[in-house]
Structure 1
Amino acid sequence: MYTTESYTYQSTHNIDLHMTLHRANANRKHVTILYFHGGGLLYGERDDLPQVYIDQFLKAGYDLLTCDYPLAPAVSLDVILQSTFEICMYYINNHQDVFNLEDQRVILFGRSAGAYLALKTTDMLQKQANITPLAIISLYGYPGFEADEFNQPSPYYLQYPKVPEQFIKVLESRHPITNGPIQERFNLYLKARQEGQWLHYLQPDLPIHTYTVSDDALKQLPPTILAASTGDPDVPYRLSKQMSRNIPKATCLTVYGDTHDFDRNTMDVTGATIYQQILTWLDTI
């Protein structure tokens, strides 16, 4: 039986960021995995990780902290990144007093857009706070938004019916939100990728290369395990392979198929197998 607890941190932008702590009860590693969900930074929920994978981490002795971040376009990419940086610092600085956990060591874990946040936030932690996480787990992630596929209409998403403009107007909130169920907000991402206008919705304040985890920054990252599908129609597989060549202690797990989020279908053993490989790898670092 595992326990879950809820916490809230108010960011410097006055946004309430909620967290769910899944606490391991046995074989404790005294390491906390901070998880960021996917959804193109436009939709998603912190508690979207299937229970079967949560159980794998907890049985291995890792605590798991799933984290909110505000969603675009109500906030910019800059605010999103500042929020993930702050929530990591909040945990590290308060692991004992607030969370009642003995060790401040963290692993950053993300899926898709969440993997980008894990990578970029690690870069920020290193440069701004001289803190390096123990490791990074990147599932079908990317280092930034400069890939051609992200800046032109997506052939994959053009197969879907075109999203009418009025649907998007209903979804665009003036107030920051941190919880965006896929059933309600997927059309935002779909329209952004259909039109090749993803960055328009992310509203970056600076030139786009500013938000990329550069090759030099990748060379400074801690041990990282990446996994992606060869035929991923959403995020090119080559991005994970390229990152793995630049990160000094990197392992890249390859899934042969054409699915983006290969771990979504828990009836397929692929996801559980990859997570077990991740746990085996973590034992070696």
Structure 2
Amino acid sequence: MLRLFAAPRLNIRKDYEKVRRMQSRFAALLMPPYRTSRWQPLPHDEHLHVPVRFFQPKVKRREDVLVFFHGGGWVTGDIDTYTPACVRMAELTGCAVASVNYRLAPEHPFPAGLEDCYGVARVLLDEPHRVGAADAGQVILVGDSAGGNFAAVISLLLRERGYRPPDRQILIYPVTHWDHDPDTSPFASVRSHGGDYRLTNAEVEDYFDLYVPDRQQRRDPHVAPLLAPDLSGHPATLVITAELDLLRDEGEAYGRALADAGNTVQTYRVEGALHGFISLPRFSQSVQDAYEVINAFLDGDPVEGGHCTPREAI
């Protein structure tokens, strides 16, 4: 049954523009009513503006602001195609959500999109009032897939460059490693789930070819944060993985690496879930499971439940 929902087998290197158009049409059909405002911070200098869309929940239950970096392999996805997911995120958490529209590869390869997101994070941590936060402790970095990669790397960059990191981050099935070849990858999930379901080994390779054409550069910790030599001093972290996702094991390995470096980390594996599930409708069991854990994390409660990765693993 799950294979029926697998993504069509496209050559992302050739068809990424087609995928973008398809995503835009599909998102337009699902576009919900929402309360939003737009503003453009200046993360680098007066010449570069990064659009951010701000979503308010109907019922505000928390003062936290979730700064969201969308997925799409650094190549697809944008502020419009992720609007349904961001509306759902605001409603299910009761938090304001700030969605970042970073530049995409291959038109803007590494590190363009990363620097856009880093710049926005810097602005909001330095000036949290821009999104209605009382202080930087209420600014939480969130990302799924490639966006989870950005959130992880931004926390690394902030520490390396001597700036204040966020207090908390949520990484949803993040990309943390560079090797997704089933013959050489250190992760079993790459071999178990890289051929049949929502995201394949070949598609990840295509995305990397567009985002980081230089294969040696893919080992840079700013591309593959799992390879960072020092992961100390990171935010309290929630890592959410999907059972049937080829990125599952590298996400959980990143959680273990953060914990080994002395950080506070919780991981949660959503059973039966595919890559990309955070964009499913709110009645999806995977979405319900994930947001139950996200809300517990936002409240400072421990992650519990039968779907959770065992504590001894992290």
TM-score range, shorter chain: 0.7 to 0.9
Q: 1:139 aligns with which of 165, 169, 172?
A: 172
Greater RCO, 1 or 2 (C-alpha within 8 Å, sep 6+): 1
CA RMSD of aligned residues (A): 3.3
Query: Is 1:242 aligned to 2:263, yes or no?
Result: no
Gaps of 5+ in 2: 1-32, 302-314
Residue 146 (structure 2) pairs with residue 125 (structure 1): no
In structure 2, C-alpha distance between the alignment counterparts of 1:278 and 1:26, rounded to whole Å? 17
Residues 1:259 and 2:292 aligned together: no
Give the drift of 1:3: 4.1
Give per-residue Cα distances to partners, 1:122-145, cap 9 Å, x unaligned. Answer: 111111133121111111112132
Distance 1:25 1:216, change over 3 A: farther
1:212 aligned onto 2:224 = yes
Counterpart for residue 51 of structure 1:
87
Deviation track 1:221-270 (CA, whole Å, cap 9, x = no partner) reads: 221111112221xx331112211212222111112225112233223222
- Supply the AA of the counterpart residue of 2:218: I
Write the mapping of 1:1-285 to structure 2, written as runs, cut at 5 A.
3-10=35-42, 12=44, 14-23=47-56, 29-47=62-80, 48=82, 49=85, 51-58=87-94, 62-96=95-129, 98-105=130-137, 106-148=139-181, 193-194=202-203, 196-203=205-212, 207-210=217-220, 211-213=223-225, 214=227, 216-232=229-245, 235-248=246-259, 249-257=264-272, 259-266=274-281, 267-284=283-300
Asked whether the 8 Å contact 2:35–2:55 carries over to 1, the reply is: yes
Alpha-carbon distance in 2 for matches of 1:57, 1:150: 40
Taking structure 1 as reference, are residues 256 and 269 closer, same or farther at Cα in structure 2, changes over 3 Å only?
closer
Q: State the number of aligned residues.
A: 250
Are the equivalent residues in 1 in contact too, given 2:212–2:218 (CA < 8 A)? no
Cα separation, partners in 2 of 1:197 and 1:99, compared to 1, 3 Å: closer
Letter in 1 for 2:241: A
Distance in 1 (alpha carbons) for counterparts of 2:204 and 2:88: 36
**Residue 149 of structure 1: how far off its partner (Å):** 5.0
Under a length normalisation based on structure 2, what TM-score does the superposition of the two structures give?
Answer: 0.68
Q: Is the 8 A contact 2:180 2:205 kept in 1?
A: no
Give the direction of change, closer, same or farther, for the CA distance of 1:22–1:261 in structure 2 (3 Å limit): same
Q: 1:82 is paired with a residue of what secondary structure?
A: helix
Shift of 1:283: 1.3
Alpha carbons 1:31, 1:103 under 8 Å: kept: no
- CA distance in structure 2 between the aligned counterparts of 1:151 and 1:51, rounded to whole angstroms: 39
In structure 2, C-alpha distance between the alignment counterparts of 1:150 and 1:262, rounded to whole Å: 27
Structure 1 contact 5–20 (Cα < 8 Å) conserved: yes
Contact 1:42–1:72, Cα closer than 8 Å, also in 2: yes
CA distance in 2, matches of 1:72, 1:15: 17
1: CA distance, partners of 2:48 / 2:142 = 22
**Following the alignment from structure 2 to structure 1, what is the Cα–Cα distance between the partners of residues 183 and 41?**
32
Q: Secondary structure at the match of 1:274?
A: helix
Amino acid at match of 1:52: R
> Unaligned stretches of 5+ in structure 1?
161-188
- Whether the 8 Å contact between 1:84 and 1:117 is mirrored in structure 2 is yes
Q: Distance in 2 between matches of 1:8 and 1:39?
A: 22
Cα distance change of structure 1 residues 3 and 151 upon mapping to structure 2, 3 Å threshold: farther
- Distance in 2 separating the partners of 1:150 and 1:5: 47
Percent pairwise identity: 18
C-alpha separation in 2, matches of 1:26 and 1:231: 33
SS class of match (2:50): strand
Deviations 1:71-104 (A, max 9, x none): 00001111121111111112223332x4444222
Instruction: Give TM-score, length-normalised by structure 1.
Output: 0.75
Contact 2:86–2:99 (Cα < 8 Å) also in 1: no
